[in-house]
Amino acid sequence: MKREDIKKEEMMVVSGDGTRLRFRKDVVEDPRALIVIAHGLCEHLNRYDYFTEKLNENGYSVYRYDQRGHGKSEGKKVYFSDYNEMPEDLAAIVAIAKGESNGKKVFLFGHSMGGETVTLYGTKYPGTVDGIITSGALTHYNHPVMGDTFPIEAPEGTYVPNELGDGVCSDIGVIEAYANDPLVEKQISTGLINQIYAGVQWLKEHKNNFSDPVLILHGADDGLVSAKDSLDFYEGIGSKDKSLRVYANLYHEILNEPSKNEIIADILLWLGKHKG
């Protein structure tokens, strides 16, 4: 797929509660399928530019958005009042993708907090997309990276420093770019942390409702989200079509590790088998 054949468009779209979300689509002519990407905590859609390019090159259209309170989307900065805001915002993007799919299949990809987002969506709305891919997904909170006492008792509007950077990737250049990126948020609200944890607890109680085809990916040396999260999720979900890959020596952002093209090749192989 030539770059000049890719139609790129960015706009603000409205979620169910009226929050305006920054939305971008990179669309190829007659796509093999459509992929909706949900990013992780404190980041934004542009950190998936390379992955999007590779998907486009292989014939897939890509729909991305900044989660509320992140990047250029509206909402209180890095804050959720309810964990259901994650899957409901995603539902607004999925509706756009399905409305423009012309009968082609729609898949979700979510990394870290975005992995929680897509698994919450799949658990709440099973069978509404054609498959889900997770990367370093927060689904069980086996590694207490944000503490082990919940809910965090703090005044409304309390924020703590974003200290996730060192565990993001083994590539120093990626860590430096993350630290210097003006759209990467430098603080996290305790409100968001509490809601992420509440969402994980709901997932753990209802994960047997998750029945979509799923490819679960994780770095074995992920210092932020334990690979055991993905192992536990794999074991507990109701999906008949499920695959799990834990990559030796890789950190949290497997799509930014030096071996990222191998992971993308695995994703493309799985998509090729499921696109119909």
In this prediction, residue 20 carries a pLDDT of 98
In this prediction, residue 165 carries a pLDDT of 67
In this prediction, residue 144 carries a pLDDT of 86
- From CA 276, how far away is CA 265, in angstroms rounded? 18
In this prediction, residue 102 carries a pLDDT of 95
What contacts 16, CB < 8 A, 6 or more positions away?
A: 88, 89, 91, 92
Peptide bond into 151 cis (omega under 30): yes
32: part of which helix (H) or strand (E)? none
Mean pLDDT by 10 residues, the chain (276 residues): 79 97 97 98 96 97 98 96 98 98 97 98 98 98 86 88 79 86 93 96 97 98 94 98 97 95 98 92
Q: What pTM was computed for the model?
A: 0.96
**115: CATH:** 3.40.50.1820
Beta bridge partners of 27: 7
In this prediction, residue 34 carries a pLDDT of 98
Are 220 and 248 in contact by the 8 Å Cβ rule? The answer is yes
Structural domains counted in the chain: 1
Are 254 and 260 in contact by the 8 Å Cβ rule? The answer is yes
In this prediction, residue 2 carries a pLDDT of 60
Provide the residue range defining the domain that includes 248: 3-274
